Amino acid sequence: LATALASSAGVAQFEDELRRRLKSLDAYRQGGDRQSLLSLWSNSPIKIIRKTAAPLYVPYPSSPLVVGIQPGVLGTLSG
């Protein structure tokens, strides 16, 4: 996502099921995905520095998240 944001004005994310997206956060590493999503929400700059690639910096990332959810499932997300 960061690579796409570096070369465009913004990238929209579409997810047909909000519950699945929320449950998949941090599935592979603790604190990574959830923190990244919150940083995108607050429009914080993205900085990625890796040994195997050139540093990547996106000063104003824009990546809206468009989701859908069924009314009966909405109540299971509280608490």
Q: What is the pLDDT of residues 14-56, one digit of tens each?
A: 988 888 888 887 677 666 677 878 888 888 898 888 889 899 9
- Tell me the mean pLDDT in the region 4-19: 89
In this prediction, residue 31 carries a pLDDT of 61
Structure pTM? 0.65
The helix or strand, by DSSP H or E, that contains position 39, with its residue range, turns out to be: helix 32-41
> 10 Å Cβ neighbour count for 77?
11
5: CB partners within 8 A, 6+ apart? 11, 46, 58, 61, 62, 63
The answer to whether 33 touches 79, Cβ cutoff 8 Å, is: no
In this prediction, residue 76 carries a pLDDT of 80
Q: How confident is the model at residue 11 (pLDDT cuts 50, 70, 90)?
A: very high
